């Protein structure tokens, strides 16, 4: 969670202090009454006063180490981190809980919540997607460990959304070559994208942009290469029209096709004229 949001949450928690007030809460923190701290920590957590419960739970982890209550306190501490949306810390403690209490009835949920924290850490598609890939890996690991889990559908849905984000990121990166008028690189990058995501939602537009990139690249080419490159664009158009006969880009693609045919004809005529004027000895 961002620092500003955390500060607001801390301030909000202060406003929600129990009726004993700040002095009462400070006395509770300094108290040697372990039972009272346990009761208050669990009550704060149950009431959603997670920021207040955290210092008490952290202390209780040390006090209850090796006792029957350790499992409950540790799991609640991870839950309090989750509650305040500190996804890094919550993920860490849920993972630690799963390792420490492997046979607990809460282990499956702890591992799911750890994976869920990774999902929440996945940024907007425009940013680096390392955390998105990690979230997919964590969800897949959870399903591998719990193949019969009732949470399987939820995991699959989240993985689908995360993969969609990665696909959009890949498409925008490939499309950038077209936007920056690097048409030769655009053809290559968009072609690689389509091979990697042939049935994805962006493959249609990517295929159209390949035609447009090839057309523009041909226009910029030397006379000797122009006809060949217009022909490449024509071939890409034919593949596009066959694959996407109902495409919203079809009319624009048809216009490019006509321009490419005309370009091929002009280039051929210019080549013949140039050859006539400068015959090979």
Domain ranges, residue 219: 181-274
pLDDT at residue 18, rounded to an integer? 45
Question: Can you give the pLDDT at residue 3?
Answer: 45
Is residue 106 one of the residues assigned to a domain?
yes
pLDDT in tens, 53-66: 999 999 999 999 99
Q: Is residue 171 part of a domain?
A: no
Q: Are residues 115 and 186 in the same domain?
A: no
- Domain shared by 96 and 186, yes or no: no
Q: Compute the distance between CA of residue 66 and CA of residue 113 in angstroms, rounded to an integer.
A: 24
What CA–CA distance (Å, rounded) separates 84 from 50? 7
Identify the domain boundary among 80, 96, 121: 121
Which segments in the chain show pLDDT lower than 50? 1-20
* Residue 211 neighbours by CB under 8 Å, 6+ apart: 233, 236, 237, 240, 253, 256, 257
CA atoms within 13 A on the CB side of 47: 14
- Total count of domains within the chain: 2
Residue 144 lies in a domain: no
Among residues 106, 121, 136, the one where a domain terminates is 121
92 and 17 housed in the same domain: yes
In a domain, 33, yes or no: yes
Are 110 and 90 within 8 A, CB to CB?
no
Contacts 24+ apart (CB under 8 A), 124-133: 125/165, 125/166, 125/168, 125/169, 125/172, 126/169, 126/172, 129/165, 129/166, 129/169, 132/162, 132/165, 132/166, 133/166
What DSSP line would sit under 179-211, residue for residue?
HTT-HHHHHHHHHHHHHH-TTSTTHHHHHHHHH
Are 54 and 77 in contact by the 8 Å Cβ rule? The answer is: yes
Cα 133 to chain centroid distance, Å, stands at 7
Return the pLDDT at 276. 64
Does 172 reside within a domain?
A: no
Identify whether residues 196 and 265 lie together within a single domain: yes
Output the pTM of the full model. 0.83
Structure token digits, residue 124? 């907007």
Is residue 129 in some structural domain?
no
In a domain, 154, yes or no: no
Answer yes or no: is 210 within a domain.
yes
Q: Do you know the residue count of the chain?
A: 281
User: Which domain CATH number covers 211?
Assistant: 1.25.40.10
CA 222 to chain CA centroid, nearest Å: 42
77 shares a domain with 191: no
Q: Do residue 93 and residue 187 come from a single domain? A: no
Of 121, 148, 163, which closes a domain? 121
């Amino acid at each position: 969670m961002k620092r500003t949001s955390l500060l607001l949450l801390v301030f909000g928690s202060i406003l929600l202090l129990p009726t004993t007030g700040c002095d009462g809460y400070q006395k509770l923190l300094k108290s040697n009454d372990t039972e009272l701290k346990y009761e208050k920590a669990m009550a704060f957590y149950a009431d959603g006063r997670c920021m207040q419960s955290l210092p008490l739970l952290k202390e209780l982890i040390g006090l209850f180490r090796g006792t029957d209550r350790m499992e409950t306190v540790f799991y609640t501490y991870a839950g309090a981190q989750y509650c305040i949306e500190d996804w890094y810390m919550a993920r860490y403690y849920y993972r630690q809980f799963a390792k420490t209490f492997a046979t607990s009835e809460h282990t499956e949920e702890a591992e799911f919540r750890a994976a869920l924290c990774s999902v929440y850490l996945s940024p907007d598609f425009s940013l680096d997607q390392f955390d998105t890939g990690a979230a997919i890996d964590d969800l897949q690991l959870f399903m591998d460990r719990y193949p019969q889990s009732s949470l399987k559908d939820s995991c699959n849905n989240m993985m689908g959304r995360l993969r969609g984000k990665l696909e959009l990121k890949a498409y925008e990166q490939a499309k950038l070559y077209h936007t920056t008028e690097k048409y030769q690189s655009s053809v290559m990058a968009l072609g690689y994208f389509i091979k990697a995501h042939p049935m994805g939602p962006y493959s249609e537009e990517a295929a159209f942009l390949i035609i447009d990139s090839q057309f523009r690249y041909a226009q910029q080419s030397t006379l000797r290469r122009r006809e060949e490159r217009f022909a490449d664009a024509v071939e890409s158009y034919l593949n596009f029209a066959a694959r996407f006969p109902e495409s919203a880009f079809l009319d624009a693609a048809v216009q490019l096709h006509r321009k490419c045919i005309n370009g091929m004809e002009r280039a051929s005529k210019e080549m013949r004229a140039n050859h006539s004027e400068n015959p090979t000895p």
